[in-house]
């Protein structure tokens, strides 16, 4: 994959729009050309598509940072009990539903709802130690 095939984000599009505005201010583009190129900037997906809008213009042109490769992350093996992330995410809402059911089925003590944040904190601390 070449540099031109790298996808761009909002920061790159904003930079290109600002630079097109400078070219408009310098008289290198008329309002119609500026509007056309600005519309194309908002739909550009790659660096090549964005740079093509500046082919016939002198500097300033968009400048892109170096793309760093994503680090490969392998979780360190830990001892102890391990829960699937989907299960962990489902526990707090399930505790909330159980608390509502227990509250309406007889135990009319609102303190039962303190179990929800307590379970969330405990799961958060437990998952940070893994």
- Which residue is listed with tokens 């997906």? 45
In a domain, 68, yes or no: no
Number of domains in the chain: 2
pLDDT at site 49? 95
In a domain, 57, yes or no: no
In a domain, 65, yes or no: no
pLDDT at site 62? 93
In a domain, 72, yes or no: no
In a domain, 58, yes or no: no
Residues 48 and 89 in one domain: no
pLDDT in tens, 65-113: 876 676 776 655 555 555 666 777 778 888 888 888 888 887 777 787 8
pLDDT at site 79? 52
115 with 95: CB under 8 angstroms? yes
In a domain, 43, yes or no: yes
C-beta atoms surrounding 12 within 10 Å:
20
In a domain, 71, yes or no: no
Q: What pTM was computed for the model?
A: 0.52
State the residue range of the domain holding 44: 3-52
In a domain, 10, yes or no: yes
């Amino acid at each position: 994959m070449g540099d031109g095939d790298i996808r761009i984000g909002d920061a790159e599009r904003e930079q290109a729009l600002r630079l097109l505005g400078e070219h408009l201010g310098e008289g290198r583009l008329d309002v119609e050309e500026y509007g056309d190129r600005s519309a194309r900037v908002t739909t550009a997906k790659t660096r090549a598509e964005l740079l093509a809008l500046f082919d016939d213009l002198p500097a300033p042109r968009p400048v892109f940072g170096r793309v760093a490769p994503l680090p490969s992350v392998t979780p360190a093996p830990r001892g102890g009990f391990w829960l699937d992330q989907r299960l962990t995410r489902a526990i707090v809402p399930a505790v909330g539903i159980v608390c509502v059911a227990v509250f309406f089925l007889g135990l009319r003590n609102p303190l039962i709802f303190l179990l929800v944040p307590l379970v969330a904190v405990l799961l958060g601390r437990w998952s940070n130690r893994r």
